[in-house]
Structure 1
Amino acid sequence: MPRDAHTSPVKDHELRYKLANELHARPFPTLEAPCHAAYLAIKRPEDAASRDRDVDRAHLIALLDRHGAPHPSPGATHWFGQLGRHQLKWEAHTEFVTYTLFGDGVAERPFDGTTFDAYPEDWLADAPGVRMTSALIRVQGWPGEEAIVQKISEWFVPESLAASRVLDDSATIAGDFRIDENGHMRFAVFVRDECGSRRVGRIVQRLCEIETYKTMSMLGFARVRDMGPELTRVDEALTSLVDEMAGDVAKPDQTLKALLEVSSELEAMGARSSYRFGATGAYEAIVNQRIEVLREERFGGRQTFAEFMMRRYDPAMRTVKAAQGRLEAMSERASRASSLLRTRVDVERSAQNQTLLESMDKRADLQLRLQKTVEGLSTVAISYYAVNLVVYMLEPFGAEIGLGKLALMAITTPLVILAVWWMVRRIRKSL
């Protein structure tokens, strides 16, 4: 019997559909120019990766309830929907959550701080964390290259301005990565008529991601600056201990203890920093990847986003990598020095043990000699008393045969001594 074409006898994995749908769960927004976006990233100050995610969802729900919007499903890590006159995109990440409000049109005054008023002030005050970054993104139609040059020169700081053509010259993006008087980053997007709404949404999303992951990766740089003095102090202590090992160590046990303390301190520093170093590397890779997919081309002779990152951002990331490598190298040095000193201590202890064994061997030899001497004296003493006993026993019989006491002693003494010596020898062998 033929099998139904829509059924299969093989059983699906319980997570098959969930994992497949995860790839499509966070679509790019669809935006038409002119429009704007107000972006916000919130992170708990400490232990953000192990935070209670339900608190993040509760904060989102508090915002949704103000507009009667539907709630996310339990355990959801993303939500997209209408929120009054705006569309809201919410995402929960490993260490932070992001909110992006999309609205039609642009303010008459570029990057007007009132655009961010769509987030209620009291709701922001109740946020379960602190603001890592926020950004205002202005998207408008193509006014011509001369007009773009004039606008970005007025809107951004020339020293930090980065601008480039992206996605096969379908749009031009600009920003200076500076915080304005309202506490927000600013980005401008000028799109040509042929640039589709999905492409516009991808550009805006990429800008938000570049800013967020750039900021998050800079936490690693801040960690390195904080631990710099401590790392230098430990490095100097380690170098001093290693230099002492080059000569004769007066108290190797104490030096070994100091080395173990340095190793423990380095391990503790590594444990405290390992997550941040790993996260920084991952965030840096995301920043570079997001810039790469924009396929930048130079605009008006100005630096591109990639060039800005190479000059301002990459040195900070190299500093983090250098500090990570320095910490690992110091840990290896401390471990090698501890092993070498431990070997030296073991060798010295082996030499001491060898000397002690030799001393014990000499003592045993002396004791054996003394024992033999004592055994000889014991033989003489036992023989003396034994001869007297034998003479007393044989004296009556000696009188009958005409032997006196002295003659009996002369005859019995060699025999008694020989008998006693033989008996003592057998006893010693048996023991």
Structure 2
Amino acid sequence: MTTGVLIGDGDVRLSPHPLRAAVLGEVHARPFTALQVPSRIVHFAFDTAGARGPADRANLIAFCESRGLQPPAPGEKHHRAPFGTTVLRWEQHSEFTTYTWEIPADPAGAPFYPDASSISSPMRLLPQPGPLFVAVDLHVVKDDPPRTSPERLFDRASLAVAENSDGQALYATDFQPGPSGFVRVLVIDRGMPPERAGALVQRVLEIETYRTLALLGLPEAQRLTPSIATSERRLAEVTQEMRGAGDLASNHKLLEELTALAAEVEAGAAASQYRFGASRAYEEIMTGRLATLGERKVGGLPTWSSFLARRMKPAMRTCVTTEARQSDLSLKLARAANLLRTRVDVELEQQNQDLLKSMNARTRLQLRLQTTVEGLSTAAITYYVVGLFGYLVKGLHDSGRLPVDPSIATAAFVPVAAFSIWWTVRSIRKKHIADEE
């Protein structure tokens, strides 16, 4: 594809956006191909998520090269490989890959004869890409009543029949797998050109493929429903217990249980989020394909749209409801946990306040004891200082150097010593308090 745009005389090229070629090519990635009538189409869809996708591409490349066919280009998601009278259409999607084998049919042959298992042998030429999702046996035949009557070929209880918008084709199926596991689809040609026949067949195959893929969310919803119901019931019980829980230990226990419930619900939601989102997307694609066909009712039989709406809508609503219940339950658990966490925080703050009050009381008691000890220490130090002073005065008196009576001098010194020691101790205490501040 041209990477730039020439203007003027062709000597100026405009630089394109890096994604321009990919965007333009996507419109033509899966073109409709002409289909001759009668034809037999055997269609498979396989789960190729993860590492299966690259392995499947490598197997297809090896298959084409071994038979001298053009392999798919790197990054190509659609490839058509004719060999002999059979044509293979290969399409790779995000989580599945389809193999569609176009096989010429005998004009005089009865519809769906021989059985699809006997004409699907080309699929055995390649390794199975992954688990099988879809297997369709589609037969395009000329209008030949009553040999091609849908009521004769399908189960009337689940038969869906419709004409396309201009009435040039009728398509019918009962959406039931036959003995060999294939869902049979009959397309009756009433004058379609080959290109129109190819487009109709491709849309019909896509409807069946996306119908099956959309319903993959239902088993996931059914798997999650019991655990969601259990979590909802336990949440109601925990919130009821929260009303009577008053001590910190009980609230801690309830908070741990709520946290465990929230983790379980979030794990289920994370595991199913992709599946439910994919189911919604596949249903929208299927609905779009049905709208493109422009269905017209045939007799008193239901069209494909009405049949699938009646049978699929309950399943899809189950998926939507389950996803909504998960989301709602997650929000309720978060609110309950926040409420309980707030209560625990308040209780912890109350305990901290009580502890601080106790510490303040203990500090005041220690201060009083310290003051008492300081008083006693002042008296004790004064006693020892006065005693030392008495020895000094008595010695001076005995030597004749002090004419005053030692007892009188000692008594006079007592208040001086007591005041001096008290002042010194008080000054030291004030200095320590000032340093701490």
TM-score (norm 2): 0.89
Match of 1:192 in 2: 190
- Percent of matched pairs sharing the same residue: 36
Matches within 5 A, 1:200-239: 200-239=197-236
Q: Is the Cα–Cα contact under 8 Å of residues 395 and 408 in structure 1 kept in the other structure?
A: no
Corresponding residue number in structure 2 for 1:57: 57
3-state SS of the aligned residue for 1:412? helix
Distance 1:150 1:129 in 2: 35
Bigger mean CA deviation after superposition, 165-174 or 380-389? 165-174
- Seen in structure 2, the aligned counterparts of structure 1 residues 211 and 168 have a Cα distance that, compared at 3 Å, is same
Show structure 1 runs of 5+ residues with no match: none
How far the C-alpha of 1:210 sits from its partner, in A, is: 0.8
Task: State the 1:405 CA deviation.
Answer: 2.7
Which amino acid in structure 1 is aligned with residue 161 of structure 2? Answer: A
One-letter amino acid of the structure 1 residue matched with residue 45 of structure 2: A
Judging changes above 3 Å, is the alpha-carbon distance between structure 1 residues 103 and 76 closer, same or farther for their aligned structure 2 residues? Answer: same
Q: Which moved more, 1:395-404 or 1:277-286?
A: 395-404
For structure 2, list consecutive stretches of 5 or more residues without a partner in the other structure. 1-5, 433-437
Of stretches 210-219 and 230-239 in structure 1, the one that deviates more from structure 2 is 230-239
CA distance in 2, matches of 1:113, 1:274: 43
Taking the aligned partners of 2:123 and 2:264, their CA distance within structure 1 comes to 44
Distance between the aligned counterparts of 1:28 and 1:37, measured in 2?
14
Aligned to 1:26: 30
Which residue of 1 is the match for residue 299 of structure 2? 300
The residue correspondences of 1:133-172 to structure 2 (distance < 5 A) are 133-143=134-144, 147=145, 151-172=149-170
Q: Distance in 2 between matches of 1:427 and 1:99?
A: 97
8 A Cα contact 2:44 2:98, kept in partner: yes
Partners of 1:3 and 1:223 lie apart in 2 by 56
Q: CA RMSD in A?
A: 2.5
> Residues of 1 paired with 2:58 and 2:362: CA distance?
82
Give the whole-Å Cα distance in 2 for the aligned partners of 1:67 and 1:118: 20
Distance 2:213 2:12 in 1: 46
* Equivalent of 1:173 in 171, 174, 184: 171
Q: Report the alpha carbon displacement of residue 246 of structure 1 after superposing the two structures with TM.
A: 2.2
Measure, in 2, the Cα distance between the counterparts of 1:221 and 1:419.
95
The match for 2:92 is: 92
Deviation, structure 1 residue 162: 1.2
Deviations 1:150-180 (A, max 9, x none): 7011111111111122233332221111111
Q: 1:388 to 1:411 in 2, by over 3 A?
A: same
3-state DSSP class of the match of 1:50?
coil
| Counterparts of 1:149 and 1:421, CA distance in 2 | 127
The one-character-per-residue Cα deviations of 1:7-30 (angstroms, maximum 9, x if unpaired) are: 534322344324322321210121
Equivalence for 1:289: 288
Structure 1 contact 89–101 (Cα < 8 Å) conserved? yes
Mapped partners of 2:11, 2:88: distance in 1 = 39
How far is 1:227 from its partner?
2.6
Structure 2 vs 1, CA of residues 31 and 413 (structure 1 numbering), >3 Å: closer, same or farther? Answer: same
Match of 2:237 among 237, 240, 247: 240
52 and 95 in structure 1: CA distance in 2 versus 1, 3 angstrom threshold: same
- Range moving further from structure 2, 352-361 or 280-289: 280-289
> How many positions carry a matched residue from both structures?
422
Counterpart Cα distance in 1 of 2:26 and 2:277: 24
Structure 2 Cα separation of the partners of residues 164 and 396 of structure 1: 137
TM-score for both structures, normalised by structure 1? 0.90
SS of equivalent residue, structure 1 residue 178: strand
Question: Which aligned pairs between 1:376-395 and structure 2 lie closer than 5 A?
Answer: 376-395=375-394
Aligned amino acid, residue 324 of structure 1: E
Contact 1:149 1:300 in 2 (8 A): no
Residue equivalent to 2:435:
none
Instruction: Decide whether aligned partners of structure 1 residues 265 and 84 sit closer, same or farther in structure 2, where only a CA change above 3 A counts.
Output: same
Structure 1 residues 253 and 115 mapped into 2: Cα distance closer, same or farther (>3 Å)? closer
Aligned to 2:363: 364
Offset of residue 394 of structure 1: 3.4
Are the structure 2 counterparts of residues 148 and 244 from structure 1 closer, same or farther at C-alpha, using a change threshold of 3 Å? farther
Q: Which piece of structure 1 moves more, 87-96 or 58-67? A: 58-67
1:228 aligned partner, one-letter code: T
Q: How many Å separate the matches in 2 of 1:322 and 1:7? A: 61
Distance 1:90 1:118 in 2: 18
Shift of residue 244, structure 1, vs aligned partner: 1.5
Equivalence for 1:37: 41
Amino acid at match of 2:370: Q
CA distance in 1, matches of 2:216, 2:172: 24
CA shift, 1:243, in A, is 2.2
Measured after TM superposition, the shift of residue 125 of structure 1 is 8.3
Structure 1 range deviating more: 112-121 or 70-79 = 112-121
1:287 Cα offset (Å): 1.1
CA distance in 2: counterparts of 1:361 and 1:127, whole angstroms:
79
* Letter aligned with residue 427 of structure 2: R
After superposition, where does 1:416-427 map in structure 2 within 5 Å?
Answer: 416-427=417-428
AA matched with 2:33: P
Partner of 2:121: 120
Q: Structure 1's 123 and 242: CA in aligned 2 closer, same or farther, altered over 3 A?
A: same
Higher mean C-alpha displacement, 324-333 vs 314-323: 324-333
Corresponding residue number in structure 1 for 2:81: 81
Deviation at 1:318, TM superposition (A): 0.6
Shift of 1:4: 4.2
Matches of 1:62 and 1:110, distance apart in 2? 34
Distance 1:69 1:116, change over 3 A: farther
